[in-house]
Structures are given as C-alpha cells and as structure tokens.
C-alpha cells in the first residue's frame, strides 16, 4: 500500500484521495480504492460516507494522462474495466455517500463524484468532462451517469464540447446539490452526513436502494419492491423506536435493528 487512499471508519466514514495536488486517478490509486470500498461495504455501523480529495486545488482532476500511451489498444483490460468495477463499488455502497468537491472535479474525477449520492461543491470548484479535448471519451461511466443526473441534453453539451463549468452553474443544472464558500465543502458535506446519520439507518439504506432501482424498473415493479421494503422496515426495532420517540417528544436512538 502506498497511501493513496485514506479511510477513516466511524458512524460517518471519511474516504480521501491522497495524491495531491491534483489527486490524479492512477492504477495504484484505483487498486487501493477498491480495497477501501470493500471495507466500507461490510461496515454495518457506518451510516454515511464523505468522499474528499487531499488539498484545496482538486477533488480529483481525472486520470493520469501519462498512463495513456501505455494503454493504447488495451485500454479496457488495462484501465477501464478496473475503473468501472471500482466506481460501481462506490455507487453500490449500501449507505449514502456525499462528495465534498473542493477545487477541480474533472474527467475521471467528476465520474467518481457522480458515483456518490450527493455532491457538495465549494464556490471555487470547477466541474467538467474535457476528455474530447484529448480525443478520448469519458470511459468510466460518465456517458451513462451524467445523463441520468442532469438529463441527456445537458450531458451532451458538457461531454461533446468538453466545457468546464463553475460550481454555480453546476448547481443550477442539478449536477451538484449545494454550493458553499471556498474551503467549506468538507464541513458542509459532514453536516449533510450528520443529518442522514440521525435518521433510521435501515430505512435510509432501503430508500437509497429503491431510488436507484427506480431508474431501471417499470412503475408497478417499483411499487412492488417498495412494498416489500416497507414490510421489512415495519418489522424492525428501529420503526418502534421512531414511533416511541415521536410520542415522547425526544430524539430517537436508532440501532440499525
């Protein structure tokens, strides 16, 4: 391990890219990220995850271009299949994830942020997928996740022009959920994580899964899965605790059971 990923477990976990100043995505970083995400997937006591990049210059400025030439003709085997697998690990974490975007989130860095459930950006952040400027395409999920978040027309505009946008525009088109002053992306993301962590963890995880499934299911099939999830939740101890706390006018003490 070369220390390219820092993972701090807890009720709110912190996952940090440690490859400053740009936190570039390299094969070594992706392999360490894979191992960290495997730990998170099994962490039943983690209620939310904040994803950050070391420093204030970049959340992640994308792939290390120096690796491109060595991947010619075998990019899938050498790079993209691994990245797709690991990015899917992040997207599939059972607990909510919040990207704290301080500085640039470009190319593969924005693709990484798109795998998170929510995105908080500082006012100084820049976001975009400039891959076509280098005669390549967003190949780690960008062409698929971006249209699902901001719609196909906006996604085409950003991807086909390679344009980089400011945080305020990103918020306006729904690419980020919140813009905060410079230097405040991580604290703001932690505030959101604390708010989520105070809710019923079983319900939060079920709701996240249902929302993700809603993009792929027919409406009636989605209703059926929602009903099954509700049956599971109404059998939980947390549901009873929530009702008791409501009538007692106190904060609930959810245990994830």
Which residues are designated catalytic? 111, 131
Task: Tally the C-alpha atoms within 13 A of residue 163's C-alpha that lie toward its C-beta.
Answer: 12
Report yes or no: 115 and 94 within 8 Å, Cβ to Cβ: no
Backbone angles phi, psi at 8, to 5 degrees: -120, 110
Q: Tokens at residue 2, please?
A: 């070369």
Residue with tokens 């899917």, as numbered in its chain: 88
CA–CA separation, 131 vs 120, rounded Å?
A: 23
Q: What 3-state DSSP class applies to 166?
A: strand
CB 96 within 8 A of CB 79: no
Whether the bond into 10 is cis, omega within 30 of 0: no
CB crowding 37-64: b at 16 or more within 10 Å, else e: beebeebeebbbbbbbbbbbebbbbbbb
Element (H, E) at 98: strand 97-101
Task: Name the token pair of 26.
Answer: 């390299």
CB 106 within 8 A of CB 158: no
């Amino acid at each position: 391990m070369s220390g390219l990923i820092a993972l701090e477990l807890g009720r709110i976990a912190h996952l940090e890219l440690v490859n400053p100043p740009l936190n570039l995505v390299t094969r070594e970083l992706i392999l360490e990220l894979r191992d960290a995400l495997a730990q998170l997937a099994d962490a039943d006591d983690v209620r939310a995850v904040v994803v950050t990049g070391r420093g204030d210059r970049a959340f992640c400025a994308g792939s290390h271009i120096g690796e491109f030439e060595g991947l010619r003709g075998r990019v899938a085997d050498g790079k993209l299949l691994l990245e797709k697998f690991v990015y899917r690990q992040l997207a599939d974490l059972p607990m909510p994830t919040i990207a704290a975007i301080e500085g640039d989130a470009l190319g593969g860095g924005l693709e990484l942020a798109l795998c998170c459930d929510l995105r908080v950006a500082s006012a100084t952040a820049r976001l975009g997928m400039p891959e076509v400027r280098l005669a390549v395409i967003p190949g780690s999920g960008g062409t698929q996740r971006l249209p699902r978040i901001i719609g196909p027309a906006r996604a085409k505009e950003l991807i086909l022009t390679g344009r980089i946008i400011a945080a305020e525009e990103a918020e306006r088109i729904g690419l980020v959920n919140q813009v905060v002053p410079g230097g405040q992306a991580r604290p703001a993301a932690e505030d959101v994580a604390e708010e989520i962590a105070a809710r019923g963890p079983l319900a939060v995880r079920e709701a996240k899964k249902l929302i993700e499934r809603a993009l792929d299911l027919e409406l009636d099939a989605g209703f059926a899965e929602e009903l099954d999830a509700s049956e599971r939740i109404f059998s939980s101890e947390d549901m009873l605790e929530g009702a008791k706390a409501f009538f007692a006018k106190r904060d609930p003490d959810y245990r994830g059971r």
